[in-house]
Amino acid sequence: MFEHKRNALLPFSLFIKRVVAYFAYMLFLIGIALLVGVLGYHFSADLGWMNSFYNASMILTGMGPVAEMTSNSAKLFSSFYALFSGIVFLSTIAIFLAPIAHRILHKFHIENEASE
């Protein structure tokens, strides 16, 4: 997917396109995770659509729950969604940073070979 260490550094315009593509992929994953949370809160906790969206957004970003869960099914969903959200949030950050970290490491490798 990325260029090999023996290949030349990707031109900056193509690098920007790669970063935008990874950003779009990150947004897609966050959207799917948010949809799971909205549907889960709406159907397990009997929250309205706006409150479900608000609660799912707050959990997904790590801010914590807003509405109190009263039923056992809502509490279970909320617990598993919080664990899922932590993994999704950290994974999407890694997805976004992957092309940037690769470019930096690739550049250092090229500079290191040139100095030897």
List the CATH number of the domain containing 75: 1.10.287.70
pTM of model > 0.85: no
Average pLDDT for the chain: 89
Q: Is residue 96 part of a domain?
A: yes
Residue 72 lies in a domain: yes
Domain limits for position 34: 17-105
Matching residue, tokens 């959207």: 31
Give the whole-angstrom CA distance, residue 99 versus residue 3: 10
Ranges of the chain with pLDDT below 70:
110-116
Distance CA 67, CA 56 (A): 10
The total of structural domains in the chain comes to 1
Is there a domain that residue 35 lies in? yes
Per-residue confidence (pLDDT) for residue 114, from 0 to 100:
61
In this structure, what token pair is assigned to residue 2? 């990325």
Distance CA 96, CA 28 (A): 12
